[in-house]
Amino acid sequence: MTGQQRRVAPHRTTHPAMAPRPRSALLFWAFLACPAGSFATTTLNVSADYQHQSNSNIWDLAPGAPPIFHPNDPKRGDSYNAYGGTLAAGFDWSRQSISINIDGHDYRYEHFTDLNHQEYKLSGDWNW
């Protein structure tokens, strides 16, 4: 070459994160971005509750009837506080669905404390 020099572009290395993505990866992300009816659906519901209730005749006795459960205690009424929570999870895939429900409550009476108790429920469904 007379008077002219040929320039060569410097070689650049590309970081793997910056490399061009294959076509299949682009299709995969496109399918995830566009929901379809056949995709699975997952649900999760969490709730909590509180209840205060008063009852003037907790033993449901007739007026003037003697107390039968606590003979030395003439009081008939009481009130309680209840605390509880629920967790429900579900998974739907096409025509199949699976769900799990957990429910629990704690009851605390103010006067008749021997009525304090806990209630809980565990249930599940599988529909196909």
Write down the architecture of domain 40-127 according to CATH. Answer: Single Sheet (2.20)
Number of alpha carbons in the 13 Å side-chain half-sphere of residue 126: 0
Judged against a pLDDT cut of 70, whether residue 100 lies above it is answered with yes
Question: What is the C-alpha separation between 72 and 23, in angstroms, rounded?
Answer: 83
pLDDT of 17 > 60? The answer is no
Q: Which residue has the tokens 């205690």?
A: 73
Which of 5-9, 12-16, 62-66, 108-112 is the most confident on average?
A: 108-112
**Tens-digit pLDDT profile for residues 69-99:** 777 777 888 899 999 999 999 999 888 899 9
* Side chain identity at residue 19, one-letter code: A
Which amino acid would we find at residue 93? W
